[in-house]
């Protein structure tokens, strides 16, 4: 369904690539901590842009149409899955391009990759639900930012820590705590949004 708005997808991709490039032009050389922080900032804004579209962009009429043909649970599952896939692809491309441009590869690349994947997963589950809430509330973009930032900050903190461990090439058992926390947060956010979405959707 979202495949129709392919231009939007390409737009987000272009957004990521150009942000990375702008960052490169302004920083040129960069130390590890800034590298990490920058990556997550870029990912955060890219994912807000990408995922917010899932509900905010749809017109009233189209929502009504979807409402008649699909159950709310199916809808939220589909939207979340789509966003997870979208974010995964986006993250991979961004990570590839990012490390290519800056010429800096984390010491424990698989671990960093896991962190990036977990990050995209949690961004997409949280933002999907928040964008649904924001779209229902009517006052789009501003509300989206206000609602989602406090929700996402804890996840972001854990992610940055995990990613930092991966960059420094610490032993993997050190990061298990963070991975577990992230998974729990994801499962929780997912479960709550699946439970609550039907109430939200019923107008």
Determine phi and psi for 83, rounding to 5 degrees. Answer: -65, -35
What is the DSSP secondary structure assignment for residue 63, as one 8-state letter? H
Q: How far is the CB of 71 from other proteins (least distance, A)?
A: 18
* Closer to other proteins by Cβ: residue 161 or 172: 161
Q: Check binding of 21 to other proteins (CB under 8 A).
A: no
Residue 19 makes CB contacts below 8 A (sequence gap 6+) with 42, 45, 46
Rounded to whole angstroms, the Cα distance separating 159 from 162 reads: 5
Q: Check binding of 51 to other proteins (CB under 8 A).
A: no
Q: How far is the CB of 183 from other proteins (least distance, A)?
A: 12
Residues of 166-187 as b/e, b for ≥16 C-beta within 10 angstroms?
Answer: bbeeeeeeebeebbebbeebbe
Tokens of 111: 């671990």
- The only residue of 1, 89, 100, 188 in contact with other proteins, by rule CB under 8 A: 188
- The only residue of 153, 174, 176, 183 in contact with other proteins, by rule CB under 8 A: 153
Q: How far is the CB of 55 from other proteins (least distance, A)?
A: 13
Rounded to whole angstroms, the Cα distance separating 78 from 167 reads: 34
CB atoms under 10 Å from CB of 12, counted, come to 18
* Closer to other proteins by Cβ: residue 15 or 194: 194
From the list 73-81, 91-99, 105-113, 187-195, the region that binds other proteins by CB under 8 A is 187-195
List of residues contacting other proteins (CB under 8 A): 129-130, 133, 136-139, 143, 146-147, 149-151, 153-154, 157-158, 161, 177-178, 181, 184-185, 188-189, 192-193, 196, 199-200
């Amino acid at each position: 369904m979202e495949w129709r708005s392919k231009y939007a997808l390409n737009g987000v991709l272009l957004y990521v690539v150009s942000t990375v490039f702008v960052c490169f032009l302004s920083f040129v050389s960069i130390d590890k901590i800034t590298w990490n922080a920058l990556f997550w900032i870029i990912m955060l804004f890219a994912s807000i842009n990408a995922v917010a579209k899932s509900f905010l962009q749809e017109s009233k009429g189209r929502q009504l149409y979807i409402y008649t043909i699909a159950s709310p649970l199916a809808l939220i599952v589909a939207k979340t899955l789509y966003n997870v896939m979208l974010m995964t692809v986006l993250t991979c491309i961004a990570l590839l391009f990012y490390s290519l441009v800056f010429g800096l590869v984390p010491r424990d690349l698989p671990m960093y990759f896991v962190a990036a994947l977990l990050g995209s997963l949690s961004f997409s589950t949280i933002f999907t639900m928040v964008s649904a809430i924001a779209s229902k509330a009517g006052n789009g973009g501003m509300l989206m930012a206000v609602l989602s930032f406090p929700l996402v900050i804890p996840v972001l903190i854990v992610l940055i820590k995990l990613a930092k461990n991966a960059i420094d090439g610490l032993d993997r058992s050190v990061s298990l705590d963070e991975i577990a926390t992230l998974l729990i947060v994801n499962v929780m956010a997912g479960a709550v949004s699946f439970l609550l979405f039907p109430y939200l959707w019923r107008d």
